Structure 1
Amino acid sequence: MRRTVFTEEHEALRATIREFIRKEVAPYHLAWERAGQVPRSLYRRLGELGVFGIQVPKEYGGAGVTDFTYQAVIREECARAGVGFGADVVHTSLVLPYLLEFGSKEQKRRWLPGFRSGELMTAIAMTEPGTGSDLAAISSRARLSEDGTHYVLNGAKTFITGGAQADLVLVVCRTAAFDPANRRSGLSILCVDTTSEGFTVGRKLAKLGLRAQDTAELSFADVRVPVEDLLGEEGRAFSYLTHNLVVERLGAAINGQATAAAAVGFATEYVRERKVFGKPVAAFQNTKFVLAECATEVEAAQAMTDRAIELHTTGELTPADAARTKLFCTETAGRVIDQCLQLHGGYGYMLEYPIARLYADTRVSRIYAGTSEVMKTIIAKDLGL
């Protein structure tokens, strides 16, 4: 179906990203997956291309674009090629909205120029070893020094995307004692310089998929964080975290739709070339029916994401609608990619084929930014149930 969410400017960016991937990413991506991270030089190149500065205000050297559509273009092109840019999504789509919305002018002046150029990479640390979706149970703690000049941070985090290479980590921690009557109170966000004494990157975690995207354990032992590096107001972190969930879930939905579309493309190309019993796999009725069903599901997911993008651009995308979009698109991606892998036969299980990497990479999309079960809970509440 004809899409209406993209302009000529979007398509110009698409062409630039596609060529960049062809020349500077695709030939090296398997090596990056084996290494468990991309080279820092990739982030600097993305900075040079302007990718990190799209939503950064002009006064800090960025383009000052406020809509999410350009990020959708980048995600679609990465999916189309079966590659990723490491932890770039966390940097641009998760961390940046917090800095823009809650950062002081002084903090923006210090951090955004480096953020834009790729010289200062960021991550956000919420999840703890004993805390998954229940963020109110966070136990990492920061106490204010007696002279009021700094916080002393102690605790541990896990599953931190980009944590191994980050220069600045937004750490969600307790700055007040846990209150059973108001579990969401007492949480704050501290922006931690990773060169600080007592900050340690622990294990780089070996994941099922997204293997070029570093994911690490972090620990904090009496890390001194200047009060100037408190993001926003003390004790307001829980409300801050919910503020960005709509965008996070929209991004996950776009990824889901894009990877499902890529899977159909990979499978269609494969079945035309692969021969079984003397004729192309594409000649069998089952192949045609499977791909027809998959293509239809992809179109439905595309219509849903495009509408969600439009609503987000006008400020009308609700948390429930974002949950519906994420749930449908990520679940669709799981089904479609599984069927497209099946059409590859044994080769679909080999990591040299992009369909295998898509299969592994996509599984986490039903977990991060809120599990499918959490999405169903949000939707049910919107139905008054």
Structure 2
Amino acid sequence: MNVRLFVFLCLFPVTLWAQGFSGLGADVKGFAAPAPDPVFSFPREHGPHPEYRIEWWYLTANLTGPDGTPYGLQWTLFRTALAPGEAVGWRSPQVWFAHAAVTTPDAHFASERFARGGIGQAGVEAAPFHAWIDEWAMKGADFDAMTLTASGPDFAYDMMLSAKGPLVFHGADGYSVKSQQGQASYYYSQPFFDIAGSLNLPEGKVAVTGSAWLDREWSSQPLGETQTGWDWFSMSFDDGAKLMGFQLRQSDGEGYSASTWIAPDGTTSNMPAGAFTAKPLESHQVAGREVPVEWQVKLPERGVDVTVSALNRDAWMGLSIPYWEGPVTFRGSHSGTGYLEMTGYE
């Protein structure tokens, strides 16, 4: 066993490891909790918040090759804490892990990395921006223009990111409620990245261009005790508008949903809880699980009624914490491309 992996397994928060994403519903004392009416300061917020239990820098991209073939790309750095705060060296309570993936119409490649905080192997610096774990990195002079690199056994990519619009804030000015009980996170996005670069795949190198969406989120208990997972959609319409919507599933069969409408100029509208609906239309067996791969998504307030379909139904992230994530297309009242993430399907 890799020594770093062994150390990580020994130190990783037991509840989160055992329960996967459902462990995010556990109440852990001592950490800060998001509060309404946040006052953000940039570029500071692009960096880590060690007083909170969990945090991520999460980028997905819809790409096209020279022959029109669609691809998807993911790069995510997660921080989770054994205790609030930071310390030097191995005394640091911060644990880092990362996921990277490439999806094609016929294949899905994924890899992961693990690191302990305090020793320089992984971390995030706000300005100039630099998020890294080993040689995987997202960095630039600022948050608007960055490079992006990652690699796995069967893939690698090297990308340039350029923001063409403003940051957007979800919920009430970045305070994003996740349940009727009031669990919440701080949540903002940069959904206006242009992206270009190259994918290295088993069949060779492919030049690609497209659009990317970066999520920033941190909290200490973002799920309620009865919530078992979520279905998250990022949708970029052909007319320039965008939609972020998620629903959180509960063990009693009920759920909670929230969404943000994003106009082409970046103006946002926080939609009422429950306005966004996502109904599974068709499931697919992958990794021994039945996972929805076609959905009917509605947001009546904006005239949205679309069928969302996976580019590759087998886009299963078979990693230490498994989940499904991949690029999607949609048709109906609107057309375009996006990404779908589904967690908690056991």
- The answer to whether TM tops 0.5 is no
- TM-score normalized with structure 2 length: 0.31
Q: Which structure is higher in helix share?
A: 1
- Report the TM-score when normalising by structure 1: 0.28
Structure (1 or 2) with the larger CA radius of gyration:
1
